Copies of this chain bind each other. A is one copy, B any other.
């Protein structure tokens, strides 16, 4: 791993494609991992990310209490671990032990980075107005890390019921979209 600090203004390009992510939290010293696909960019700078963390998930309580998490973006090589993290609960299982994923300290939050993921976004909760209605948190990304050697990340994109689309090739179009 050779992660480098990544400009916050470029974070949107990592999440806008809709990858499955692994969200890490740390509550009372116990780290946890959650597999997640329901997220969207909401602002470029500072980067805001809206995401649904189901109230059934152990991570929900951790995020509510600590107001911190890390969004880690895995690629195809980690498919087995992504599924393993999604198939058990942090209430009963040490997910780092179960998956073999590697936690490393973050710089600005208590939740760990997952070293195995090519990108890591340290986040603080910015808005909780829609948490009661939809379990929807608005997160602000306050620090980003990227492995710059990964040019075309083979991200996973959940189609439902265990079917995952794998990121294909990238094309360049004459778009004026940011």
Interface residues of A in 18-72 (CB under 8 A from B): 18-19, 35, 37-43, 48, 50-52
Instruction: Tell whether, in the assembled complex, residue A13 and residue B170 are in contact, meaning their CB atoms are under 8 Å apart.
Output: no
Instruction: Tell whether, in the assembled complex, residue A13 and residue B160 are in contact, meaning their CB atoms are under 8 Å apart.
Output: yes
* Chain B residues within 8 Å of A39, by CB: 40
Instruction: Tell whether, in the assembled complex, residue B164 and residue A170 are in contact, meaning their CB atoms are under 8 Å apart.
Output: yes
| A98 proximal to B (CB < 8 A) | no
Q: Contacts A86-B175, A174-B83; is A40 near B51 (CB within 8 Å)?
A: yes
* Chain B residues within 8 Å of A134, by CB: 42-43, 48, 50, 138
| A93 proximal to B (CB < 8 A) | no
Instruction: Tell whether, in the assembled complex, residue B162 and residue A16 are in contact, meaning their CB atoms are under 8 Å apart.
Output: no
Question: Which of A99-107, A125-133, A142-150 binds B?
Answer: A125-133
Instruction: Tell whether, in the assembled complex, residue B16 and residue A17 are in contact, meaning their CB atoms are under 8 Å apart.
Output: no
Smallest Cβ distance from A140 to chain B, in angstroms?
A: 12
Instruction: Tell whether, in the assembled complex, residue B159 and residue A17 are in contact, meaning their CB atoms are under 8 Å apart.
Output: yes
Q: Contacts A17-B157, A19-B18, A48-B134; is A166 near B163 (CB within 8 Å)?
A: no
